[in-house]
Chain A
C-alpha cells in the first residue's frame, strides 16, 4: 500500500527488550502527576527460577529508556498468563492457569505490587482465559475463555452480569466500547460478535466474506466517531475493517500489513491504532487517514501476541510469541521541508485573498475614508511627470 511504502523502516535495537515475557501492561508510576515523564511496565514472566514471575520496570518517555527490574513478586499460583490493569491505575488483575489474583499497584506510594486481601471467589477456577479486559470506566470486567466461555463481571463486586458459554469456539479477543454499552468478541473460528451489555444479549454477528477471517477487535475511543475496528485476514494479508456502530454496517476496509494481524491496540485518545503481525512486525496507524505512519520491522522474531499504548500514547508496549517484550517510542509528527514551504506560500496566498476580499467589499471605502470617493486617481498620467510643474490636471479632481 502507498502509506506503507513511504514509511521509514526502523531497524530494531536491543534496547528496551525483555525476554521471558508472557503478558504485560502499562501501570502508572507511584506519585506520578498527569504529564509524568515515566511509567511502569508490568510484565508477567516465565522465569526459570520462579522468583521473578511478575516484574516492574520503569520506562522514561523522554529518553526512551527502560530501567532494570525495580520490583518483582512471585505468587504461588505459578505462571501468570494474562494481566489487566484497572483503568484507575490502582491495581492489576492477574489470571493464572486456573486461578486469579488482584494486586495493588504502588501501595502506600512505593513502586511495588502487593497481593490484595480480596479473594475474588467467583473468578477462581475458570480455566485458561485468552483475554481479559476492563471497561473504560472500570465498572466491568470481561473474560474470554479458551473454551469459548464469555463472562462479564461487575467490578469490584465480581457479581456475574453475563455468562455465555457458547459464544465462540474459543475466544480470541474482546473489547468494551467507550461508553461500556457494547462488547465485541472474536473467536478462533473467525467470527466477530457484538453484545449489548445493557440488555445483556447478543446483538449482532458481523457479516464476513467467505475468504475472510476476523482476528481482533477494538472500539474507537474518540467519542465523536462511533466505530468498531476489526482486523481481517484475507489471503494471508492483514486488513482492518471499520464498522459503524449505529447500524453495524461495514464502512470499509484497508490493507495495512503484508501478513496476518495478530494483535490490535488503540490509543486512549483514539487517534492511533497499533497492529502486530504474525511475522513480528509492529505498525502504528493514524486512524484519521488509516495509513501506517510508523513501522517497526521485526520487533519480535515470532508473531506479536500483545500490544498496548501507554496512557498518553507516546510509546507502545509489544509482546511476542518468542517471549520477548519491548517498548517502542512513537514517532512524533515531523514537518517535511516542502510542507513548510507550501505552508508559507499558502499563507501568502491566503492573506492576498483576504486583502482582495477586503478591497472589493464596501468595508474598504468606510475604512479608508477617502475624501473624494473610490475613483480618485492615484497615478498621474505620464505626461504630468515631465509637464509644467505648477499646472493643474483635471484628473486630480480639482
Chain B
C-alpha cells in the first residue's frame, strides 16, 4: 500500500483557517512557558526585597545564590520531567487527551503558585517552589504534544512554518510577561506610592508588595485557561487515530470536519504491520542517529541559549536602563526590570522567531540550523575575545554582539531543534522521541543557566560574588559556550533535511507498510 488517503489529504490541504486556530491553541503552552521564564527574574528581585531584607547590611534584600537557583531552576527540572512523562503518555493515550491534562496542570499550578500555604516566609517559598515544579511539568508536557499535534495537522508544504509559528508564541509570551510586569507594577505604584530604598529602606517595600508578584505569576493562567475549551474541541490527530490506534475511518471523519471536505476512509492496511519497538535494534538502525542528532543539538543549543542569564547584568549596565536598586522602591524596580527585559528581548530574541517562520519552508531546516550554529559560534567568539574591552569601552558593540548571538539562536537551532524531532519519527513514538529530545534540551538549559552561573565566577576568591564558590572566570566560560556552539554545528550533520517531505516518508512508515503488504 502507498499511503492512507486521509493522510495524503492532510498533506495536500491548502492552508486554512483551522491551521491558524491550531497555531494559537497549540502555542499557548509556549506562551505560558516563556511568560513563566521571563516573569521569574522580575519576581525573584521582589521576593528578595520582601523576604530577604536584612537591616544590618544596609542594602536592599536579595535572594541568596542557592535560593535564586532553586526558584529559577525548579521549573526547569519540572519541565524536563514533564517532557519525558507526557511525551511518552502522548503516544500511549493519544495527543488530545494528554493535551487537556497538560493545559489543566498549567492553569492550576500557575494559579496556585501565586497562593501560599501558611503565612511564614518559609512556607511562601516552599509553596512557590512546589507549584512552580508542577507548572514546569505541565509546560514540559506541552513541548512534545504541541509540536506533534502541529506537525500531524499541517500540510507538507507549510508544515515548518506552522510548527515554527507555534514556537514563536514564546516571543509573544516574553513580551506579555514584560507588559504584565509593567502594568501591574505601574498600577500598584500609583495606588501605593513608596519612597526609594535609600530614603526609607522599610517603607520602600510596602506591606502589600507581595500582591505584585502573586498577580504577575497568576496572570500566566489566564491565556492558557482561555484556550482550554478549544483544546477540548480539537479532534484527535488523524495520524494518531489512523496509524497508532488503527482506526482510519474515525480519522477520515475527524479530518472531514476540520478540512471541510469529504475524505474517503479506505482501510487499505494489511492485517498485520511490522512494528518495531522503541528499544529495538530496528529502531536503533533506522532512527538511532536521528535521535542522537536531535538530542545532542538541542542540548548544546540550550546550554548556550540559557546562559544569557550570564550577560543579563552586563547588558543592563550597558543599556543604562536600570538604576541601582537602592535608588528605587521595590515595585519601581519591578517596573524597570520588566521594561528593560522586554525591550532587550524584543530586539534580540523575538525577531529571530519570525524570520524562521517566513524562511523555514523556503531554505529548509538543515541550512537554518547550520548557519544558526555557525553564526552563534562566531558572535560568541566576538563577544569573548574582546570581552573586557567591549564591556568597558564599547557598550554598543557589546549589545550588538549579544543581540546577534540570540537572533541567530532563534533564526537557527532554537526553532529547528523544536521542529525536526516532530517530523522524523514514526507516529507511534513521535511524541516520546520529541519529549526525549526536548528533555535533553532542558538538561542543557539547567547546565546553561546554573552551571555557567557558578563556572563564570572569578578564579580569585576575592572577586567571587556572595554565595558562590570559585569558578573558571567569565572569559573561559564564554569560550566553552563558543565550543558547545561549534559542537552543535557538527552534530547538525546527524539530522536529515525534512523540508517538503510527508511525515510518513520521513519516518519510513510507508515502507514498513509496504514490506508487510
Which A residues lie at the B interface, using CB under 8 A? 35, 37, 62-64, 335, 337, 340, 344, 348, 351-352, 355, 358-359, 364-365, 367-372, 374-381, 384-385, 387, 389-393, 395-396, 398
Q: Which of B70, B124, B130 has the most CB of A within 10 A?
A: B130
Taking a contact as CB atoms under 8 Å apart, the answer to whether B210 and A355 are in contact is no
Could you say which of A348, A387, A396 contacts B202, with CB atoms under 8 Å apart? A396
A/B interface sample: 11 pairs, CB < 8 A = A37-B282, A337-B93, A359-B122, A365-B122, A371-B54, A374-B120, A374-B121, A377-B119, A378-B119, A391-B203, A398-B202
Complex interface residues of chain B between 188 and 214 (CB less than 8 A to chain A): 192-195, 200, 202-203, 206-208, 210-211
* Least Cβ–Cβ distance between B120 and chain A, in angstroms: 6
In whole angstroms, how far apart are the Cα atoms of A340 and B101 in the complex? Answer: 12
In whole angstroms, how far apart are the Cα atoms of A355 and B113 in the complex? Answer: 14
In whole angstroms, how far apart are the Cα atoms of A385 and B133 in the complex? Answer: 30
Q: Nearest A residue to B70 by beta-carbon distance?
A: A367
In whole angstroms, how far apart are the Cα atoms of A175 and B121 in the complex? Answer: 67
15 more A-B residue pairs beyond the given contacts A62-B277, A368-B122, A370-B122, with a C-beta to C-beta distance below 8 A: A62-B280, A63-B272, A340-B89, A371-B52, A371-B53, A371-B61, A372-B121, A376-B120, A377-B119, A378-B50, A378-B210, A385-B207, A389-B206, A390-B200, A398-B202
Complex contacts, A395 vs chain B, CB 8 Å: 207
Complex interface residues of chain B between 327 and 360 (CB less than 8 A to chain A): none
* Least Cβ–Cβ distance between A389 and chain B, in angstroms: 5
Complex contacts, A368 vs chain B, CB 8 Å: 67, 121-122, 125
In whole angstroms, how far apart are the Cα atoms of A378 and B115 in the complex? Answer: 11
Bitwise, B54-78 to A at CB < 8 A (1) or not (0) is 1110000100101100100000000
Taking a contact as CB atoms under 8 Å apart, the answer to whether A389 and B122 are in contact is no
Q: Nearest A residue to B52 by beta-carbon distance?
A: A371
* Least Cβ–Cβ distance between A170 and chain B, in angstroms: 43
Q: Nearest A residue to B130 by beta-carbon distance?
A: A355
Taking a contact as CB atoms under 8 Å apart, the answer to whether A62 and B126 are in contact is no
Taking a contact as CB atoms under 8 Å apart, the answer to whether A370 and B121 are in contact is yes
Tell me if B281 is interfacial: C-beta within 8 Å of chain A.
yes
Taking a contact as CB atoms under 8 Å apart, the answer to whether A378 and B51 are in contact is yes
Tell me if B312 is interfacial: C-beta within 8 Å of chain A.
no
Complex contacts, A384 vs chain B, CB 8 Å: 206-208
Tell me if B123 is interfacial: C-beta within 8 Å of chain A.
yes
Tell me the count of chain B residues lying within 8 A, CB to CB, of chain A.
52
Could you say which of A375, A387, A392 contacts B120, with CB atoms under 8 Å apart? A375
**A376-B51 contact in complex given A37-B281, A340-B92, C-beta closer than 8 Å:** yes
* Least Cβ–Cβ distance between B442 and chain A, in angstroms: 17
* Least Cβ–Cβ distance between A391 and chain B, in angstroms: 8
* Least Cβ–Cβ distance between A395 and chain B, in angstroms: 8
In whole angstroms, how far apart are the Cα atoms of A374 and B123 in the complex? Answer: 9
Interface secondary structure of A, over-half rule: loop
Complex interface residues of chain B between 203 and 232 (CB less than 8 A to chain A): 203, 206-208, 210-211
In whole angstroms, how far apart are the Cα atoms of A172 and B334 in the complex? Answer: 84
Complex contacts, A337 vs chain B, CB 8 Å: 93
Taking a contact as CB atoms under 8 Å apart, the answer to whether A367 and B274 are in contact is no
In whole angstroms, how far apart are the Cα atoms of A107 and B13 in the complex? Answer: 57
Tell me if B116 is interfacial: C-beta within 8 Å of chain A.
yes
Bitwise, B142-158 to A at CB < 8 A (1) or not (0) is 00000000000000000
Complex contacts, A380 vs chain B, CB 8 Å: 207-208, 210
Q: Nearest A residue to B127 by beta-carbon distance?
A: A355
Bitwise, B470-504 to A at CB < 8 A (1) or not (0) is 00000000000000000000000000000000000
Complex contacts, B130 vs chain A, CB 8 Å: 351-352, 355
Tell me if B505 is interfacial: C-beta within 8 Å of chain A.
no
**A62-B122 contact in complex given A371-B53, A384-B207, A390-B195, C-beta closer than 8 Å:** no
Q: Nearest A residue to B55 by beta-carbon distance?
A: A398
Taking a contact as CB atoms under 8 Å apart, the answer to whether B207 and A396 are in contact is yes
Complex contacts, A385 vs chain B, CB 8 Å: 207-208, 211
Tell me if B129 is interfacial: C-beta within 8 Å of chain A.
yes
Complex interface residues of chain B between 279 and 326 (CB less than 8 A to chain A): 280-282
Complex contacts, B282 vs chain A, CB 8 Å: 37, 62
* Least Cβ–Cβ distance between A24 and chain B, in angstroms: 23
Q: Nearest A residue to B273 by beta-carbon distance?
A: A63
Taking a contact as CB atoms under 8 Å apart, the answer to whether B194 and A390 are in contact is yes
Could you say which of A355, A369, A390 contacts B67, with CB atoms under 8 Å apart? A369
Taking a contact as CB atoms under 8 Å apart, the answer to whether A379 and B116 are in contact is yes
Taking a contact as CB atoms under 8 Å apart, the answer to whether B119 and A389 are in contact is no
Tell me if B461 is interfacial: C-beta within 8 Å of chain A.
no
Complex contacts, B281 vs chain A, CB 8 Å: 35, 37
Taking a contact as CB atoms under 8 Å apart, the answer to whether A389 and B194 are in contact is yes
* Least Cβ–Cβ distance between B253 and chain A, in angstroms: 22
Tell me if B18 is interfacial: C-beta within 8 Å of chain A.
no
Could you say which of B56, B93, B123, B274 contacts A340, with CB atoms under 8 Å apart? B93
Tell me if B516 is interfacial: C-beta within 8 Å of chain A.
yes
In whole angstroms, how far apart are the Cα atoms of A358 and B125 in the complex? Answer: 12
Tell me if B20 is interfacial: C-beta within 8 Å of chain A.
no
Complex contacts, B55 vs chain A, CB 8 Å: 398
Taking a contact as CB atoms under 8 Å apart, the answer to whether B193 and A378 are in contact is no
* Least Cβ–Cβ distance between B369 and chain A, in angstroms: 33
Taking a contact as CB atoms under 8 Å apart, the answer to whether A62 and B123 are in contact is no
Tell me if B465 is interfacial: C-beta within 8 Å of chain A.
no
* Least Cβ–Cβ distance between B496 and chain A, in angstroms: 24
Complex contacts, A37 vs chain B, CB 8 Å: 280-282
In whole angstroms, how far apart are the Cα atoms of A183 and B52 in the complex? Answer: 73
* Least Cβ–Cβ distance between A51 and chain B, in angstroms: 31
Taking a contact as CB atoms under 8 Å apart, the answer to whether A335 and B92 are in contact is yes
In whole angstroms, how far apart are the Cα atoms of A372 and B56 in the complex? Answer: 11
* Least Cβ–Cβ distance between A318 and chain B, in angstroms: 20
Taking a contact as CB atoms under 8 Å apart, the answer to whether A63 and B120 are in contact is no
Could you say which of A344, A369, A389, A393 contacts B64, with CB atoms under 8 Å apart? A369
Taking a contact as CB atoms under 8 Å apart, the answer to whether A355 and B120 are in contact is no
In whole angstroms, how far apart are the Cα atoms of A367 and B129 in the complex? Answer: 13
Taking a contact as CB atoms under 8 Å apart, the answer to whether B89 and A379 are in contact is no
Could you say which of B53, B116, B133 contacts A378, with CB atoms under 8 Å apart? B116
Q: Nearest B residue to A359 by beta-carbon distance?
A: B126
Complex contacts, B277 vs chain A, CB 8 Å: 62
Complex contacts, A393 vs chain B, CB 8 Å: 207
In whole angstroms, how far apart are the Cα atoms of A359 and B120 in the complex? Answer: 11
In whole angstroms, how far apart are the Cα atoms of A192 and B398 in the complex? Answer: 86
Tell me if B134 is interfacial: C-beta within 8 Å of chain A.
yes
Taking a contact as CB atoms under 8 Å apart, the answer to whether A355 and B66 are in contact is no
* Least Cβ–Cβ distance between A340 and chain B, in angstroms: 6
In whole angstroms, how far apart are the Cα atoms of A359 and B194 in the complex? Answer: 33
